[in-house]
């Protein structure tokens, strides 16, 4: 009996163990399977904003005690797309068989003297400042002006202050005042007279003053304007040259702009002879082989000791280069006016200095004035431009490199000025180019091969060079027909431009890309021949045979010529203060 009981209990335990082993997998895995299927059937995904809101004036918060664990703000900064201007790089491509064959070697893009501007440091008018100027919401400065709160007004005022030289005022004073009387006027208002001169262009005397007693600028301005011997007072606004930094890369150094503008065809008809162009810019290296015998006059509106700069030398080259390169008007005469000097942000100028440049150009026979710079709307410069236009002098300006969201920059937005936007080798809009209904025409401005100081060369970008090319095209037109007025030149340029982008006029290219050959042809026939008849390139058109007696060294060079050296870092020493 005992044996049978033990046997029964043993069989019962074994049966229980077998049953437990069979049920164990169901007990262990049943809930997990149900949970996984519920996730698959009803996914719950939390996707953050693709465009995170970032305060550009506040740096990321990082706990230095935690290694390799960045906070959320750091992650957002890392995921934010970089500024198109800061990282912009377009590849220089030249279509085979078009225009002048390249005889230049492959070259490296040279570093530019003037760094690209980061978003947080860009002012409401596109200027680049040395400290952040954006509002806390990351706006473009305009939004701050719309609010009624004190913070918005403070942001707007800060942006305005950065657009002008600190503690400086420009005033029109009675020309009958002696120097001693002008100094006494300044002392009564806590000012120092830095300079003053009579401007024949304006028919008045303009003085530059500095506040020496730390009073608010607006207070001093109101008190000075109340003087009977003072006719107007304003801030001394700042202006900046319009070029862009290029990343170091390699590309074909051939001048695609030559083919796009149809310069060889145009030069068979005119080369800018006996036309004077004033270039208000930074210093020009008049000894460069590309500019030999082209700089007829120089004027230093800064009264500085700085040497030549890459920007001014490049602008001059875009107009008159005639050695290894081809400018748009290789036989034009230049008045090289230095109005921009080196600063921590590149090369900049002011209202007073630019007015000196305009006055000199108008008084010394300039027929065209190239202004490859941009800044805010400035009452004093607006007066200068109006007076210059009244003398029948043509003015061309860069649209600016502040991009699609920028408001119009000046002097390009002045109706008396031909505003030029930039294009690239594929005839697309230069990424940083300003837009607007004030744009007249476009011209090549991306990856332009140009001379640099010390017999060197550079590849650089900016609407600065677009404007310079158009100034040269205008010189060709004036050589062909000296009777043309500024309004005639504008009309011919726009009606002969090659339409780009959406059909018809638009805010990116204006009337289209300038066509030198069509413009010169129309200038010779104006006003008898309808301008629209020469705006399109006829099918199968052949390049006119150049005059064999003409200087065509810029068209073709011997293949065994030594390669041009590229601007090195040593040339940037001229930009250091």
Strands annotated E in 242-374? 250-251, 276-281, 295-300, 333-338, 341-343, 346-350, 368-371, 373-374
Interatomic CA distance for residues 464 and 514, integer angstroms:
15
- CA dist 283 and 313 (Å) reads 7
Neighbours of 436 (CB within 10 A): 19
Residues in contact with 189: Cβ distance below 8 Å, sequence separation at least 6, in sequence order? 220, 223, 224, 227
Catalytic site includes residue 281 = yes
Cβ–Cβ under 8 Å, residues 408 and 375 = no
| 506 is a catalytic site residue | no
Residues 464, 466, 554, 571: which is the catalytic one? Answer: 464
Q: Identify the active-site residue in 243, 252, 281, 424.
A: 281
CA distance 296 to 29: 92
3 state DSSP class of 417: coil
**Beta strand 373-374 pairing with 230-241:** antiparallel
Our answer to whether residue 3 is catalytic in this structure is no
CA distance 460 to 442: 17
Count of alpha carbons within 13 angstroms of residue 135, beta-carbon side: 20
For residue 456, the number of C-alpha atoms closer than 13 Å in the C-beta half-sphere is 23
From the list 288, 311, 322, 438, the catalytic residue is 311
Rounded Cα gap, residues 73 and 458, in angstroms: 39
Q: Are strands 373-374 and 368-371 parallel, antiparallel or unpaired?
A: unpaired
Q: Which helix H or strand E contains 448, and what residues bound it?
A: strand 448-452
User: Which residue's structure tokens are 């080798």?
Assistant: 425
Distance CA(78)–CA(80), nearest Å, equals 6
Phi, psi of 161 (to 5 degrees): -60, -40
CA distance 19 to 365: 111
Non-local CB neighbours of 236 within 8 Å, separated by 6+ positions = 164, 165, 168, 169, 170, 208, 350, 351, 352
Torsion angle defined by CA atoms of residues 504, 506, 509 and 512, in that order, rounded to the nearest 10 degrees: 10
Outline where 248-303 has alpha helix (H).
256-261, 263-267
Contact 380, 170 (CB under 8 A): yes
CA 470 – CA 397 distance, rounded (Å) = 9
Inter-axis angle of helices 379-390 and 351-363, nearest 10: 10
Tokens standing for 72?
A: 């959320």
**Whether the Cβ atoms of residue 161 and residue 181 lie closer than 8 Å to each other:** no
* Residue linked to tokens 């460069």: 288
**Which residues are tagged catalytic?**
281, 311, 464
């Amino acid at each position: 009996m005992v044996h049978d009981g033990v046997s029964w209990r043993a069989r019962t335990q074994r049966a229980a163990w077998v049953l437990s082993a069979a049920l164990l997998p169901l007990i262990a895995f049943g809930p997990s399977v149900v949970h996984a299927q519920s996730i698959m059937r009803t996914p719950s995904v939390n996707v953050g904003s693709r465009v995170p809101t970032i305060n550009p004036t506040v740096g990321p918060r990082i706990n230095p005690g935690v290694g390799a664990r960045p906070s959320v703000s750091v992650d957002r900064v890392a995921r934010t797309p970089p500024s198109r201007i800061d990282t912009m790089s377009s590849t220089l491509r030249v279509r085979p068989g078009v225009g002048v064959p390249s005889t230049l070697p492959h070259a490296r893009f040279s570093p530019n003297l003037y760094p690209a501007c980061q978003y947080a440091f860009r002012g409401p008018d596109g200027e680049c400042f040395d400290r952040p100027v954006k509002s806390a919401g990351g706006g473009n400065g305009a939004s701050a002006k719309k609010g009624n709160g004190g913070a918005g007004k403070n942001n707007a005022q800060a942006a305005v202050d950065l657009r002008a030289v600190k503690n400086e005022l420009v005033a029109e004073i009675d020309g009958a005042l002696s120097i001693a009387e002008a100094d006494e006027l300044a002392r009564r208002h806590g000012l120092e007279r830095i300079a003053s001169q009579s401007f024949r262009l304006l028919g008045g005397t303009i003085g530059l003053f500095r506040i020496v007693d730390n009073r608010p600028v607006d207070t001093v301005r109101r008190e000075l304007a109340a003087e009977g011997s003072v006719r107007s007072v304003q801030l001394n606004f700042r202006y900046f040259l319009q070029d862009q930094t290029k990343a170091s890369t390699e590309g074909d150094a051939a001048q695609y702009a030559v083919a796009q503008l149809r310069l060889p065809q145009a030069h068979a008809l005119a080369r800018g002879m006996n036309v004077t162009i004033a270039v208000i810019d930074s210093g020009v290296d008049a000894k460069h082989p590309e500019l030999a015998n082209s700089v007829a006059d120089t004027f230093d509106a800064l009264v500085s000791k700085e040497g030549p700069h890459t920007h001014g030398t490049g602008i001059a080259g875009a107009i008159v280069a005639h050695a290894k390169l081809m400018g748009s008007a290789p036989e034009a005469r230049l008045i090289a006016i230095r109005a921009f000097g080196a600063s921590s942000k590149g090369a900049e100028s002011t209202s007073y200095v630019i007015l000196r440049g305009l006055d000199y150009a108008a008084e010394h026979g300039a027929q065209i004035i190239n202004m490859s710079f941009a800044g805010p709307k400035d009452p004093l410069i607006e007066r200068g431009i109006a007076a210059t236009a009244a003398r029948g002098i043509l003015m061309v300006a860069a649209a600016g490199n502040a991009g699609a969201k920028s408001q119009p920059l000046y002097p390009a937005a002045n109706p008396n000025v031909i505003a030029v936007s930039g294009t690239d080798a594929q005839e697309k809009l230069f990424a940083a180019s300003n837009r607007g209904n004030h744009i007249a025409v476009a011209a090549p401005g991306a990856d332009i091969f140009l001379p640099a100081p010390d017999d060197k060369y550079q590849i650089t970008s900016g609407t600065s060079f677009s404007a310079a090319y158009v100034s040269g095209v205008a010189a060709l037109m004036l050589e062909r027909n000296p009777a043309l007025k500024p309004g005639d030149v504008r009309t011919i340029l726009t009606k002969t431009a090659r339409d780009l982008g959406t059909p018809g006029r638009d805010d990116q290219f204006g009337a289209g890309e300038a066509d030198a050959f069509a413009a010169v042809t129309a200038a010779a026939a104006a006003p008898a021949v309808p301008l629209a008849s020469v705006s399109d390139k006829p099918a199968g058109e052949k390049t006119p045979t150049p005059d064999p007696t003409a200087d065509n060294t810029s068209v073709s060079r011997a293949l065994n010529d030594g390669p041009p050296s590229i601007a090195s870092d040593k040339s940037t020493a001229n930009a250091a203060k």
